[in-house]
Amino acid sequence: MAQDSAAWAENFREATESDPVIQSYAKYYTCDFLFDMEELRVGVSMRDGRVQKIEIDPPPLTPHHFSLHASAETWRKMSQKHPPPFFQGIWAASVREDLRIEGDIKVLMQNLRNFTAQFELLRQTGVPV
């Protein structure tokens, strides 16, 4: 069952900002990214390791550094507490499933450790689709 997107956004913000691992090394974690979940899109702006903004269904021309696009079913599987094979992370899902990574990959790679830690919080918060 999909949760209310505004409640999900607040849960994701709280999980990010209270995660001791992210907060211990995320001082320079600054980027904007988009989760395209087929049924809705989520824009996240990070500044110095803090969530500046989470926007549900941002307008089409809202800028972001990189984006992850996948079906709602793929997002649901990736956010399970124990994801099935090939849904454990963005690399496996981009090779074997329908996840596409687009945009400035350099920015993704510069922030990969922090982004991965934050992405894995989806296993706690679920996804809003």
Is the Cα torsion angle 13, 30, 60, 67 positive or negative in sign? negative
The average confidence (pLDDT) of the chain is 95
pLDDT in tens, 47-83: 999 999 999 999 999 999 999 999 999 999 999 999 9
What dotted CATH number matches 5-125?
Answer: 3.30.1050.10
pLDDT band at 2 (very low <50, low <70, confident <90, very high): low
Q: In what order do the strands lie in the sheet with 100-103?
A: 50-56, 41-47, 31-36, 66-69, 100-103
63 CB burial (10 A radius; 0-12, 13-18, 19+): exposed
pLDDT band at 25 (very low <50, low <70, confident <90, very high): confident
Taking 90 as the threshold, does the pLDDT of residue 1 lie above it? Answer: no
pLDDT band at 3 (very low <50, low <70, confident <90, very high): low
pLDDT at 125: 97
Q: Are 46 and 31 in contact (CB under 8 A)?
A: yes
